[in-house]
Amino acid sequence: MYLVRGNVIVDLGKLTEFEAWVKQYSEVVKAQPGFQLLAHANSLGAPAKHTVIVRWASREAAVAWWRSPTLQAFVKAHPFEGLSTISHAAEAYEFVLGVGEPSAQARYGVLVDWHIDALRPGNAAAFHSSRKRLFELRQQHGKGFAHNRLWRSLGNLHKYLVIQSYTNREDARAALEIPELQEIGRAYRWDDYTSTPPAIEEFEVMHAVL
């Protein structure tokens, strides 16, 4: 699987138009070969920041879409300019592991950016193993849990993105109080894998096409 993540800052007064643009785009892209998922989320901590994630069966499928006459025609008919500003170049990831499945009912998400240390022996394998165990426990014990995925950057083997989704924020916060999850949090500390704390951001899911 191939994941593309884009971040934009929506211009003041353009939120309704931007949301409509995303929905129109999703209706077109979902018919393309290899398309699997589109999710539009709004940062809870930075209200103007919006993230759009699109999952494809392969990089080849995504590139075919970017080159397609259908996309060219859509962009010409629905200009993106004047609605938002790209805050960060789109990033692409490959699937590593995960549990659960994305759900249209999941309205809360967490994105965690990791950059693990390259020179620690066996670090990548240990990090993968710890995420797998943590994801499984979240699925087993967390009310409202939908899915957890670990993705690795195609541009940097030591850079990762974790995606976590729940039905709502309250269920996700309640999971933090579950003893089994607190225990594994103490067992798998972030500094076991990296010298840089992971960046955690919470989002409301505004629109999803599965």
pLDDT in tens, 17-51: 999 999 999 999 999 999 999 999 999 999 999 99
pLDDT at 73: 97
pLDDT at 179: 93
- Domain count along the chain: 1
The answer to whether the beta carbons of residues 122 and 47 sit under 8 Å apart is no
Confidence check: pLDDT of 142 > 90 = no
pLDDT at 29: 98
pLDDT classification of 59: cutoffs 50, 70, 90: very high
pLDDT at 90: 96
Q: CA 118, CA 202: separation in Å to the nearest integer?
A: 27
Report the candidate in 103, 87, 83 with the shortest Cα–Cα distance to residue 43: 87
Of 31-40, 173-182, 193-202, minimum mean pLDDT range: 173-182
The answer to whether the beta carbons of residues 194 and 114 sit under 8 Å apart is yes
Mean pLDDT value across residues 162-174:
96
End-to-end Cα, the chain, rounded Å: 14
Q: For residue 165, what are the contacts with CB-CB under 8 A and spacing of at least 6?
A: 102, 103, 106, 108, 109, 110, 146, 147, 148, 205
Q: pLDDT tens-digit profile of 63-113?
A: 999 999 999 999 999 998 899 999 989 999 999 999 999 999 999 999 999
User: Helix %, strand %, coil % for the chain, to 5?
Assistant: 35, 40, 30
The percent of residues above 90 in pLDDT, for the chain, comes to 94
Reduced to 3 states (helix: H, G, I; strand: E, B; else coil), residue 142 is: coil
Mean pLDDT value across residues 3-24:
97
Tokens of 199: 């960046």
Report in angstroms the alpha-carbon separations of 118 from 132, 162, 206. Answer: 20, 18, 36
**What is the extent of the structural domain holding 109?**
2-209
Say which CATH number the domain at 112 has.
3.30.70.100
pLDDT classification of 201: cutoffs 50, 70, 90: very high
Tokens of 128: 């993968």
Q: CA 151, CA 132: separation in Å to the nearest integer?
A: 12
